[in-house]
Amino acid sequence: MNARSVGSLMWAASFALLTLATAMPTLAKPVKWNLEDVTFQDGGTAVGSFLFDANASSASASVLDFDITTTDGTVLTGVHYTPADAAATSSGFGINLSSASLHRQLDLTTGTPLSGIGVTIPLSGFESSSGLGGGLRFVKEGGVSSVPEPSDSVMVGIGLVGVITVWVRRRRVAGLSLAS
């Protein structure tokens, strides 16, 4: 095997390892999803985030934390959803927050599974009230986006620097041995 073949093989192996290293955090860790420009048809909005574990064993265990606030619209008044006053479930295609004490339900649904890092997924869904006067409003537009954890980005960067350093050193050694 000549030096060029070894170098190509090394680059292919490094690329494969780097690809695996970037994919593994997506599978292993819960991902924080941020609501992006979510607007209801009555003019109200929703802001906040939730922590989702795609590897959870049940729908009720997949939403680890959430803090979502809806604002007043023409149909419903705003509500602040937290684990203290609402229960969360997920089918893997969004989240459902339900609060008996607030007489409210917020259902945010995506067309694709909640997986991946650095992606934005469009939302549909609704917020309803079973309290006095009731009411129902639908999501008009908006989405959810995931952002990689800083530690994941740092690890990928360190790995890339290591691969480049090894490659440069091997090229120098190969250049010196050819010149001798």
Same domain, 120 and 52: yes
Domain count across the chain = 2
The yes-or-no verdict on residue 28 having pLDDT over 80 is: no
Write out the two tokens for 132: 């006095």
Asked whether residue 74 falls in the same domain as residue 159, the answer is no
User: Is residue 121 domain-shared with residue 102, that is, in the same domain?
Assistant: yes
What was the pLDDT predicted at 19?
A: 56
Residues 6+ apart with CB under 8 A from 175: none
In order, the DSSP letters of 12-59 are HHHHHHHHHHHHHHHHHS-EEEEEEEEEETTS-EEEEEEEE-TT-SSH
Domain identity same for 123 and 40: yes
- Answer yes or no: do 107 and 127 share one domain: yes
Strand 120-129 and strand 87-89: the pairing is: unpaired
Determine which of 11-25, 43-57, 124-138 has the lowest per-residue pLDDT on average: 11-25
Q: Which residue has the higher pLDDT, 14 or 69?
A: 69
Residue 76, pLDDT score: 95
Say yes or no: 64 and 36 in one domain: yes
Distance from the Cα of residue 166 to its chain's centroid: 33
**How does pLDDT run across 88-126, given as a tens digit for each residue?**
999 889 899 999 888 999 999 998 888 777 888 999 999
Question: In this predicted structure, what is the pLDDT of residue 55?
Answer: 84
- Segments forming the whole domain that contains residue 172: 3-26+151-179
